[in-house]
Structure 1
Amino acid sequence: MIPINEFLVFALASLIMVLSPGPNMIYLISRSLSQGRQAGIISLFGVICGFLFHILMVSFGLTAIFFAVPYAFVIVKFLGVGYLLYLAYNTIRSGGTKIFDTDRSLKKDKPFKLFNIGLLTNVLNPKMALFYLSFFPQFIKPEYGSILGQSFQLGIMQIIISFSINFLIVISAAKMAGWFAKNPLWVRVQKWFMASVLTGLAVKIAFAKAK
């Protein structure tokens, strides 16, 4: 069982991640603006199922690796350090402040297609799998019990937070798009803030002492 203090740190990190502008947020805002809130919500369910897919793959993958390869846990954690630092660098390096010039001209699609687009947007994104593979191990420790059980705990928490925030994004898409357009400085601020969070998480892994 993951200690409550580390679980809360993970929840806070997950909240910061979902609040950071990215492809999912942009897609959901665009779909909601072009086809209405119902279409945005259906698309959101597809996105969440994509998260679930990656969480299941990473959870079973981590469990298999940790049991099959000696010292794999340490290796995976330090690979995570490198990947998180890479994400931090790319966050700052990415140019532009108009990432929320969302596409309002998306054609109207049927519910099944909306769900599939949201699902495939996540499932076919290899960066999502790499992110989870680097993010989860810093909160998972063999001494806390089942690796698989810990992964599911973290995954469920991440999905709940992602769904809640993205649902609010969908129902307030028009206001959010307008606010982002009027406040381009916020995009720059969030980039540096996000990079700082990712770097902090990487440092936390690097200096964590194995028990």
Structure 2
Amino acid sequence: MLLQFLTAAGMLAVLTMIPGPDMAVVTKRAVSSGWQDGLRTVGGITVGLLLWGVLTVAGLAAVLAASATSYTLVKLAGAAYLVFLGIQALIHSRHLRAKAVGTHPDAPTGAAWRTGLVSNVFNPKIAVFYTGLLPTLAPSGLSPHTGMALLVLIHAALTAVWLGGYVMLLAKARVFFQKPAVRRAMDRVTGIVLIGFGLKVATTQP
């Protein structure tokens, strides 16, 4: 059973480190508002994963994954939110042209945690991932619910550590990222990436 857990954790770690919408959202918040907001965003993302985990163990995520209508509604809501965040970043990059950016990031805002949570809750791919892949990774020596719950906790912990470490890495290069030209470039890149992920989410099938 230990070997099964290690194998599952390794696979989850690889999947966690693949760049995706979560990393783009975290980059936007960390670069524009500082590492505190970056960590708050990570916290929101982690809570979103735990919520999906609870729904999965309860069987509700399987219903969503199997319902084309429900899946499409959640998918479009998530895609629209990512596109909104992308447009917001592009608009912010234009505003930076008109003002100098100092060595300190913008004041942290309470919206960071909500940004991470909403971007994750409205990602139906997690429902498909949890109901489709996690059952195949759950150790055979445990009940399905217990095995799934432990894997969800492992995935949430891996995500928090990985993205949290990424935020702190960005913080180390804060002075560089606070240069006006760099800020504009980062906002543009993350904006385009977020819009791209939003369009990808909107057009993908379960």
| TM-score with structure 1 setting the length | 0.58
In the alignment, structure 2 segments of 5+ residues that lack a partner are 67-88, 96-105, 187-206
Change (3 A) 1:109 1:135: farther
1:135 partnered with 2:140: no
> How far apart, in 2, do the equivalents of 1:22 and 1:109 lie?
26
> How far apart, in 2, do the equivalents of 1:128 and 1:138 lie?
15
Deviations 1:125-156 (Å, cap 9, x if unpaired)?
A: 11111111112111236x52322111111111
> How far apart, in 2, do the equivalents of 1:63 and 1:161 lie?
21
Matches within 5 A, 1:43-82: 43-61=41-59
Aligned length: 140
1:145 partnered with 2:129: no
> How far apart, in 2, do the equivalents of 1:6 and 1:111 lie?
41
Report the AA paired with residue 28 of structure 1: V
Does structure 2 conserve the Cα–Cα contact (< 8 Å) formed by 1:29 and 1:40?
A: yes
Deviation at 1:110, TM superposition (A): 5.6
Q: Which residue of 2 is the match for residue 11 of structure 1?
A: 9
Q: Which residue of 2 is the match for residue 156 of structure 1?
A: 153
Does structure 2 conserve the Cα–Cα contact (< 8 Å) formed by 1:42 and 1:111?
A: no
> How far apart, in 2, do the equivalents of 1:119 and 1:111 lie?
14
Does structure 2 conserve the Cα–Cα contact (< 8 Å) formed by 1:10 and 1:139?
A: yes
Q: Which residue of 2 is the match for residue 168 of structure 1?
A: 165
The RMSD of aligned alpha carbons is 3.1
Matches within 5 A, 1:60-209: 60-61=58-59, 103=89, 105=92, 111-140=109-138, 144-173=141-170
> How far apart, in 2, do the equivalents of 1:64 and 1:38 lie?
35
> How far apart, in 2, do the equivalents of 1:113 and 1:17 lie?
27
In the alignment, structure 1 segments of 5+ residues that lack a partner are 66-75, 77-102, 182-211
Sequence identity percentage: 24
Does structure 1 conserve the Cα–Cα contact (< 8 Å) formed by 2:61 and 2:127?
A: no
Q: Which residue of 2 is the match for residue 21 of structure 1?
A: 19
Change (3 A) 1:117 1:149: same
Deviation at 1:63, TM superposition (A): 11
Deviations 1:133-192 (Å, cap 9, x if unpaired)?
A: 112111236x523221111111111111111111111111265x99xx9xxxxxxxxxxx
Range moving further from structure 2, 166-175 or 11-20:
166-175
Does structure 1 conserve the Cα–Cα contact (< 8 Å) formed by 2:49 and 2:156?
A: yes
> How far apart, in 2, do the equivalents of 1:139 and 1:51 lie?
17
